[in-house]
């Protein structure tokens, strides 16, 4: 009997120790409509591999601007998560404000880190002052989405390679009875597609601490958007309305992030659609901005166990298997060699609609953050300017360009 009590006591003691050894980390990510299904796939495998780590999910960010603003507020209030997903163009502000922590000390302890698939070119997206502050989780490039049945019905063979060809296709589609033939996602986070039009001309929107909104390329970008809006008769839908309209077979052409592939497929499994390369100005684009997000450590815990657990979560998310789930559930490219070359060996043959971004990888350029502490405000100024363009409030592109130049100049560091 004494032995039974002793065994029971030992078992209770072991259980107590095991419970005490469990570490909880807090995690938050943007775009629940895109990524919920991804984390639903990843989390059970992580829990199986790390039963002593509990990942507590906070309410998701709406988009990348919300992610940046929220983290900046939480840094002031002392309520930071242990791991956060931030847009590739929003990492720098966390580095400059000493919110994000370098991952090099953790990477240094990993054996064969690059062999696990972390491609140096992808790591460069999250490297500042020669230190790695994030591991890219998902990478996208802009593409064209096409309803193949509607395009064929209008007699359009192939897919437009330039915006002039897109506009010509709009005319053909309208003649065939499609009143709203296009949506160009001008509202997308971080002025991403505006930067795409700039990079298409091999012109960055930021050079050093200056912006190039006064350049001929910026004027061409504005004029191109105006032609898409006016000559295609594009309606000013919200992004949600546009995706729903495309998914339901009302819009033949949609231009946005390849990340929407999974969402569109889940929204209408019977929809016949494909993707193709993003059109250029006078030919193929000379460059395109890399979209997506990276996992960053923002833990303020003094407990080494918490920080170690946060690193295990970051590492698992961006590993070959974790990155492969990104491709399987969304349209993002996994920024991990192991996922692209091994786990997903025949994936893009089976799902060609997810391959367009991969085919454009040689065009990948930086999704640029705007200089100084007012980067988010500059993003809003450009957004507001594009809204005036799309709604027709400002029909003169040279005037609009000057308005943007003047408004942004007040926000740049001096």
Which residues make beta-bridge pairs with 182?
Answer: 253
Distances (CA, A) of 255 to 146, 186, 199: 9, 9, 16
Question: Would you state the pLDDT for residue 53?
Answer: 98
Specify if 82 maps to a domain: yes
Mean pLDDT of the chain: 91
Total structural domains within the chain: 2
279 shares its domain with 216: yes
Among the candidates 287, 312, 336, a domain finishes at 287
Distance CA 267, CA 330 (A): 12
Specify if 198 maps to a domain: yes
Q: Does the pLDDT at position 228 exceed 90?
A: yes
Q: Does the pLDDT at position 135 exceed 90?
A: yes
Distance CA 83, CA 33 (A): 20
Distance CA 348, CA 346 (A): 6
Q: Does the pLDDT at position 12 exceed 70?
A: no
**CB-CB contact of 91 with 56 (8 Å):** no
241 shares its domain with 298: no
CA nearest to 153, candidates 167, 171, 173, 168: 173
Specify if 3 maps to a domain: no
Question: Would you state the pLDDT for residue 17?
Answer: 36
Query: Which is more confidently placed, 125 or 342?
Result: 125
Specify if 9 maps to a domain: no
Range of 333-347, 356-370, 376-390 with top mean pLDDT: 376-390
Distance CA 341, CA 347 (A): 10
Question: Would you state the pLDDT for residue 119?
Answer: 66
Going by the DSSP 8-state scheme, the letter that residue 339 receives in this structure is I
pTM: 0.88
Specify if 406 maps to a domain: no
Question: Would you state the pLDDT for residue 115?
Answer: 58
Give the percent of the chain with pLDDT over 70.
94
Specify if 302 maps to a domain: yes
218 shares its domain with 161: yes
Query: Which is more confidently placed, 122 or 269?
Result: 269
What CATH number corresponds to the domain at position 97?
Answer: 3.40.190.10
Specify if 373 maps to a domain: no
119 shares its domain with 242: no
Question: Would you state the pLDDT for residue 14?
Answer: 36
Q: Does the pLDDT at position 298 exceed 90?
A: yes
Q: Does the pLDDT at position 107 exceed 70?
A: yes
Among the candidates 252, 270, 287, a domain finishes at 287
257 shares its domain with 205: yes
Question: Would you state the pLDDT for residue 324?
Answer: 87
**CB-CB contact of 56 with 26 (8 Å):** yes
241 shares its domain with 342: no
Q: Is 95 helix (H, G, I), strand (E, B) or coil?
A: helix
Among the candidates 257, 287, 317, a domain finishes at 287
- Under the banding of pLDDT at 50, 70 and 90, the label for residue 321 is confident
Give pLDDT tens digits for 206-222: 998 899 999 999 999 99
3-state SS of the chain: helix, strand, coil percent to 5? 50, 15, 30
Query: Which is more confidently placed, 122 or 270?
Result: 270
What mean pLDDT do residues 108-118 have? Answer: 77
Specify if 384 maps to a domain: no
The residue range of the domain holding 344 is 23-139+291-358
């Amino acid at each position: 009997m004494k032995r039974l009590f002793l065994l029971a006591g030992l078992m209770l003691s072991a259980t107590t120790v095991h419970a005490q050894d469990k570490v909880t980390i807090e995690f938050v990510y943007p775009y629940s409509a895109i990524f919920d299904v991804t984390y639903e796939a990843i989390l059970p495998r992580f829990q199986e591999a790390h039963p002593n780590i509990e990942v507590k999910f906070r309410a998701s960010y709406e988009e990348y601007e919300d992610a940046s603003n929220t983290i900046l507020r939480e840094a002031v209030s002392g309520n930071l998560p242990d791991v956060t997903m931030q847009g590739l163009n929003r990492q720098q502000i966390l580095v400059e404000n000493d919110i994000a922590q370098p991952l090099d000390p953790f990477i240094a302890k990993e054996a064969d880190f690059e062999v696990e698939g972390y491609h140096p070119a992808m790591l460069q997206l999250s490297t500042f002052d020669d230190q790695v502050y994030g591991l890219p989780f998902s990478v996208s490039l802009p593409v064209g989405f096409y309803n193949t049945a509607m395009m064929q019905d209008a007699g359009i063979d192939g897919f437009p390679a330039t915006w002039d060809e897109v506009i010509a296709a709009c005319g053909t589609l309208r003649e065939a009875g499609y009143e709203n033939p296009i949506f160009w996602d001008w509202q997308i986070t971080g002025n991403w597609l505006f930067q795409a039009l700039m990079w298409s001309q091999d012109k960055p929107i930021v050079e050093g601490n200056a912006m190039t909104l006064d350049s001929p390329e910026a004027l061409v970008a504005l004029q191109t958007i105006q032609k898409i809006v006016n000559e295609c008769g594009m309606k000013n839908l919200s992004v949600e309305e546009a995706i729903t309209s495309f998914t339901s077979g009302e819009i033949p052409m949609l231009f946005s992030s390849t990340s929407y592939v999974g969402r569109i497929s889940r929204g209408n499994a019977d929809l016949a659609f494909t993707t193709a390369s993003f059109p250029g100005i006078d030919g193929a684009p000379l460059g395109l901005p890399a979209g997506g997000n990276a996992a960053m450590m923002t833990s303020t815990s003094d407990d080494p166990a918490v920080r170690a657990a946060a690193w295990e979560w970051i590492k698992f998310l961006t590993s070959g298997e974790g990155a492969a789930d990104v491709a399987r559930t969304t349209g993002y490219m996994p920024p991990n060699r192991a996922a692209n070359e091994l786990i997903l060996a025949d994936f893009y043959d089976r799902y060609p609609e997810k391959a367009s971004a991969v085919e454009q990888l040689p065009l990948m350029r930086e999704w640029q953050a705007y200089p100084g502490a007012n980067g988010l405000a500059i993003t809003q100024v450009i957004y507001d300017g594009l809204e005036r363009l799309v709604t027709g409030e400002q029909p003169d592109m040279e005037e609009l360009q000057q308005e943007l130049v003047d408004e942004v100049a007040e926000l740049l560091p001096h």
